[in-house]
Amino acid sequence: MRAGVITFPGSNCDRDAAVALAACGAAVTSIWHAETELPRLDLIVLPGGFTYGDYLRCGAIAARAPVMAEVARRAEAGVAVLGICNGFQILAEIGLLPGAMISNAGLKFVCRPVDLEVATDASPFTAGYARGQAIRLPIAHHDGNYVCSEAECRRLEDEDRVAFRYMDNPNGSTARIAGVLGAGRNVLGMMPHPERAADPRLGGTDGRILFQTLLETLG
Amino acid sequence: MKARVHVRLKDGVLDPQGAAIGRALAQLGFAGVGEVRQGKLIELELAETDRARAARQLEAMCERLLANPVIETYAVSLED
Amino acid sequence: MKARVHVRLKDGVLDPQGAAIGRALAQLGFAGVGEVRQGKLIELELAETDRARAARQLEAMCERLLANPVIETYAVSLED
Amino acid sequence: MAIAADEITPELIAEHGLADAEYERIVAILGRAPNLLELGIFSVMWSEHCSYKSSRHWLRRLPTEGPQVICGPGENAGVVDLGDGMAAVFKIESHNHPSFIEPHQGAATGVGGILRDVFTMGARPVALLDSLRFGAPGHPKTRYLVDGVVAGIGGYGNCVGVPTVGGETTFHGVYNGNVLVNAMCVGLVAREQIFYARASGPGNPVVYVGAKTGRDGIHGATMASAEFSEAAEARRPTVQAGDPFTEKLLLEACLELMRTDAIVAIQDMGAAGLTSSSFEMAARGGVGIEMDLDRVPTRETGMTPYELMLSESQERMLLVLRQGAEGRARAVFAKWDLECVAVGRVTDSGAVVLRWHGEEVARVPVAPIGREAPLYERPHERRPAAVPIAALDVAAPLAPGEALRRLLGSPDLASRRWIFEQYDHMVMGDTVQRPGGDAAVVRIHGSNRGLALTTDCTPRYCAADPVRGGMQAVAEAWRNLCAVGARPLAVTDCLNFGSPENPQVMGEFVGCIEGMAEACRALDFPVVSGNVSFYNETDGQAIWPTPTVGGLGLLADLDHMATLAWRHGGLALVLVGETFGWLGCSLYLREVCGREEGAPPPVDLATERRHGELVRSLCEAGLLEACHDLSDGGLYVALAEMALASGIGADLRLPEACDSPTAWLFGEDQGRYLLAVAPARLAAVEAAASRAGVLARRVGTTGGAALTLDGGDAISLRELAAIHEGWLPALMGTP
Ligand SMILES: Nc1ncnc2c1ncn2[C@@H]1O[C@H](COP(=O)(O)OP(=O)(O)O)[C@@H](O)[C@H]1O
Ligand SMILES: [Mg+2]
């Protein structure tokens, strides 16, 4: 699998994502946000961080970066796109995923491992988990409170596009949503950090399954 | 020309910041405070001198960057 | 009564948000945008019906909670 | 010469915090009266903060050398050798006054400053720690200060993407008017790629990079060197605001340019930014620097040379480049959207010469500003030694279980989760031991080795007995590193005190340094960097002497790292070290008996060393299931902390003839550790201890869901956890 990890000004989990992918055997390329063309890729990762300081709105300025037009085209064409934390916020800002993120209900940054339920196994990201499986991944964000309209929320449920749900809602998200899939199921945005649970030394390997699954499903 | 853009969360979108301010005010003993909402007020210096063109420019800025239509509305104003 | 409090950074205090917005607008091709500053606009529902008393109450809220006098200034207004 | 003559009045001199004798020395150095700009330059360079005029004499007593030391005090940060071609760069710094005035920005810019001190030496920052001292929990400002400081530290470190992995937090009324915010940063660099701040090569360009200059914190350096008064608080000087996003860009841009051979010298602009960076780089290299101040990028209009030289705007660096390398530097900084402007060049004049639109506006010789900087040996008074308290003279108003509940929910022992969960402590993917343990452990990226990091000081000990307190601070840091299985390498220290002009405060300072120096020497634990913060007093009320010690150690093999948590029942609990039941100055005495008195526990450095080395060797031999050092609250509190981390309880056995169970359970005797050992390994542990001549005796067994004492007096872990976790969220009003 060829994976590209995009670095925006202020990305800070780009290396972590690349390390986790490489450990699973992916060939990882680092991509600068100013690029307008991309090499052939099976997976595009928008990593966590504070792009543009998260000023204005989280992910808002990065969503308008030159590289994003091409990311959107690839997503349309079916390439897998994974947005983690700030990457999820960017995908929502650019409209590749529904909804938006506002400040955590507790108004504080929260960094801790949380318990999640894998809400669907029907995607190239989650096929390696069992539907309903309980997993534990760290979160680390200030604005992870997922907001979407009731109608949108119903649609996500109907189309089985909620990927992960918090067991114990740490940020006030609508319907405890921690991760959602795009309509084509090839785009996933999630607030928890799978790359921080991919090395047994760091506590837990529940996130590693996601990367291994991508390798298996995308070759 | 000086311009202002007021971006606020749509009615119906929960506003944790506003709610926290409301609670804190009550705790400080301010009575009779109803709903509190916190929005952004962005002030810009524009080179444009034509009001109509400036207004159109601002509108475009909001559509393209300053507001997120999923959760926010905006209002623009120009100083005289 | 509806009230608004506009809290902004004092002149001279670094406003990284405003600066980032300014740069992003320029990158999106908006020309002629000078300084950009981002402030907060807090909207409140007050039970108080007397304008003078409401104004005093707002003033007190700003002093005690809504604005940080070290780096911010504020302006209050009441809707008619 | 075209330098304009300003009228320098006595008021102006006083406003700049300069003594009359200091002013005369300036006139002698220049051979004329200074103008206002030059006066400003001298005032910051000779401020306590930059010149260490009251502390220099005493700091010389600290041992700073050892085979592991690559660079000791004198550079932007200290450097120690880690083997395998790697080095650690680290330093701690205070941001006390700014954090009191504006807690969020004050703490944030403290983090920003210490990050720059580390990456200016070529190291990538890999960890942050913060040592925080707040006023009494019930004081009206405390909540606001805690909230702002924690949000400020988190907001900055999280955004830059450097994990905040540890620190300490305590509360006491002596800090009501002066909180302490000490931030420590640790970075990693290849040994061959360390950068220094030594300007050289006349003709080489001097280049300004980073954020634009505004009027931030003008006179911050002199503010940090003057004691507070209510009036000064009301005057509210311009606080500098931080921009962590720009810092992240600056970090990446600097490290990128450092991979080329473009840079000759580099220094961050900290206190009195452009002044200290230019003078210090010139002084280290024995050269001169000339700058055209009108070329400095500004954020505000109408800024004067005086303001430009004294501004403390954040996220800026001054570089000396090789000739011809400017283009490369400009390209790198343009990529990261940052300013990069040649503002001057290195000269052989030995002076810093400043021009404004072509006209010379200041000329100050570099060497004398350092060589002739004031050096004060201020009078100091030793305090009479505190009187020891006999264990049997301490009442036991509460049963042991009740006392434990009280202690675990007390301000200084309650869980700090509310704080460290606001810090991203996992970013960079190498945090092997998260906050909550004895020391944080950060893996050296791509290896199986790790850095162990801690900050420590027990101010109530220092107040009662500065020498012993200083010793204890170093010993505790050393012990915390040993407790995770690391070999302690070196220290950075942040000496927070009241006014040096008060002989009693100066006596505390001298005493603490003596104690620290002795401990550092005995433990081969040299001081490689640090910072002094004086004038932490308000209206004549000084803080307790607080010499924060930041310790760094190396774990050669992460497979042998120890943690607090055991994973099974049925393990033997082994207490290393002798228990005399020292209750003087203990938390038990304060929290349970309401007494703040007595002498602090003695520190026997030879014993400390023997015990630490034994524990480390037991870790390395893979003989331990868990390990924790004993400090505040003594044995019973340490046991509870381990059980809470494990989620598995334990039974503790009182010794046969125990005169005072209270003293045995809660005494704060130094040099002790509590180990959990599998039954099959117990004999090996005991044999190793007896070979080392160390007392190690079995005191209990792990298991169950409660803590019990001699099989009775059960306290469920669930209840203890609620008490332990509940206090800080309740204080902060966010359950
Ligand atoms: N308490 C101390 N112990 C050892 N070294 C110290 C101490 N205080 C200051 N230093 C050293 O003195 C030098 C100047 O410190 P400082 O002015 O704080 O650095 P910077 O200018 O980089 O902020 C540094 O090298 C620092 O490590
Ligand atoms: Mg420095």
Phi (first) and psi of residue D63, to 5 degrees:
-70, 135
Amino acid residing at D612: G
Residue D125's closest CA among C49, A164, B16, A12?
A12
Tell me, yes or no, if the pTM score tops 0.90.
Answer: yes
CB contact under 8 A, A102 and B14: yes
What the block records as the tokens of D320 is: 């000396």
Q: Which residues of chain D have pLDDT under 70?
A: 1-4, 219-238, 735
Tell me whether A53 touches chain C (CB under 8 Å).
Answer: yes
Cα D9 to Cα D6, D14, D32, D39: the distances in Å are 9, 9, 14, 11
CB contact under 8 A, D245 and A53: yes
Rounded to whole angstroms, the Cα distance separating D597 from D393 reads 12
Substitution target from B64, B65, B66, B73 for chain A, most A beta carbons within 10 A: B65
Q: Number of A to C CB contacts under 8 A, please give it.
A: 21
Ligand nearest to the CA of D266: 2
Judge contact between A80 and A214, C-beta under 8 A: yes
Phi (first) and psi of residue A187, to 5 degrees:
-120, 125
What is the nearest CA distance from D109 to chain A, expressed in angstroms? 15
Residue D48's closest CA among D323, D270, D352, D375?
D375
Instruction: Take atom 8 of ligand 1 and give the residue whose Cα is closest.
Output: D531
Q: For the residues A19-32, what does the mean pLDDT come to? A: 97
Angle between the N-to-C axes of helices D466-483 and D503-522, in degrees from 0 to 180, rounded to the nearest 10: 40
Q: Could you give the count of Cα atoms lying within 13 Å of A144 in the half-sphere of its Cβ?
A: 33
The edge-to-edge listing of strands for the beta sheet with D339-347 is: D263-268, D316-321, D205-210, D339-347, D288-292, D351-356, D359-365
Q: Are strands D537-538 and D527-533 parallel, antiparallel or unpaired?
A: unpaired
Cα(A52) to ligand 1 centroid in Å equals 33
Substitution target from B21, B70, B74 for chain A, most A beta carbons within 10 A: B70
Cα(A193) to ligand 2 centroid in Å equals 34
pLDDT at D40: 93
Whether the pLDDT of residue B80 is over 90: the answer is: no
D484 Cβ contact partners less than 8 Å away, ≥ 6 residues apart: D433, D437, D438, D439, D441, D452, D553, D555, D561, D562, D563, D619, D627
Ligand nearest to the CA of D79: 1
CB contact under 8 A, B47 and C57: no
Phi (first) and psi of residue D606, to 5 degrees:
-65, -40
pLDDT at D227: 57
Which of A64, A104, A172 has its CB closest to that of B65?
A64
Say how many C-beta atoms besides its own lie within 10 A of residue D98's C-beta.
26
Amino acid residing at D493: D
pLDDT at D614: 98
Judge contact between B16 and A107, C-beta under 8 A: yes
From the number of C-beta atoms within 10 Å of its C-beta (0-12, 13-18, 19+), residue C55 rates as: middle
Rounded to whole angstroms, the Cα distance separating D423 from D272 reads 29
> What value of ipTM does the predicted structure carry?
0.93
D121 pocket-lining for ligand 1 (C-beta < 6 Å): no
pLDDT at D238: 66
Positive/negative CA dihedral, D700, D706, D711, D712: positive
In sequence order, what DSSP letters do the residues of D72-131 get, joined into one string?
Answer: -BTBSSEEEEEETTEEEEEEEEE-HHHHHHSHHHHHHHHHHHHHHHHHTTTPEEEEEEEE
Rounded to whole angstroms, the Cα distance separating B36 from B19 reads 6
Residue D420's closest CA among D616, D168, D692, D133?
D168
Phi (first) and psi of residue D494, to 5 degrees:
-125, 110
Residue D91's closest CA among D105, D111, D68, D108?
D111
Say how many C-beta atoms besides its own lie within 10 A of residue D713's C-beta.
15
Judge contact between D190 and D85, C-beta under 8 A: yes
pLDDT digits over A104-117, tens only?
999 999 999 999 99
Tell me whether A23 touches chain D (CB under 8 Å).
Answer: no
Cα(D89) to ligand 1 centroid in Å equals 13
Judge contact between A164 and A82, C-beta under 8 A: no
Which of A100, A106, A107 has its CB closest to that of B71?
A100
pLDDT digits over D483-531, tens only?
999 999 999 999 999 999 999 999 999 999 999 999 999 999 999 999 9
Q: Could you give the count of Cα atoms lying within 13 Å of D193 in the half-sphere of its Cβ?
A: 22
Q: What is the DSSP letter of D213?
A: B
Instruction: Provide, for chain D, the percentages of residues in helix, strand and coil under a 3-state DSSP scheme, each rounded to the nearest 5.
Output: 40, 25, 40
Q: What is the DSSP letter of C28?
A: T
Rounded to whole angstroms, the Cα distance separating D283 from D275 reads 12
Alpha helix positions (H), D452-584: 459-464, 466-483, 503-522
Instruction: Provide, for chain C, the percentages of residues in helix, strand and coil under a 3-state DSSP scheme, each rounded to the nearest 5.
Output: 35, 35, 30
Active-site residue flag, A33 = no
CB contact under 8 A, C24 and A53: no
pLDDT digits over A107-159, tens only?
999 999 999 999 999 999 999 999 999 999 999 999 999 999 999 999 999 99
pLDDT over 70, % of chain A: 100
Closest ligand 1 atom, residue D117 Cα: 22
Which of D161, D425, D443 has its CB closest to that of A49?
D161
pLDDT at D228: 52
List the 61-120 stretch of A: residues with Cβ below 8 A of C: 61, 64
Cα(D231) to ligand 1 centroid in Å equals 30
D231 Cβ contact partners less than 8 Å away, ≥ 6 residues apart: none
Instruction: Take atom 17 of ligand 1 and give the residue whose Cα is closest.
Output: D50
Tell me whether D238 touches chain C (CB under 8 Å).
Answer: yes
3-state secondary structure chain A: CEEEEEECCCECCHHHHHHHHHHCCCEEEEEECCCCCCCCCCEEEECCECHHHHCCCCCHHHHCCHHHHHHHHHHHCCCEEEEECHHHHHHHHHCCCCCEEECCCCCCCEEEEEEEEECCCCCCCCCCCCCCCEEEEEEEECCCEEECCHHHHHHHHHCCCEEEEECCCCCCCHHHEEEEECCCCCEEEECCCHHHHCCHHHCCCCCHHHHHHHHHHHC
Rounded to whole angstroms, the Cα distance separating D678 from D692 reads 20
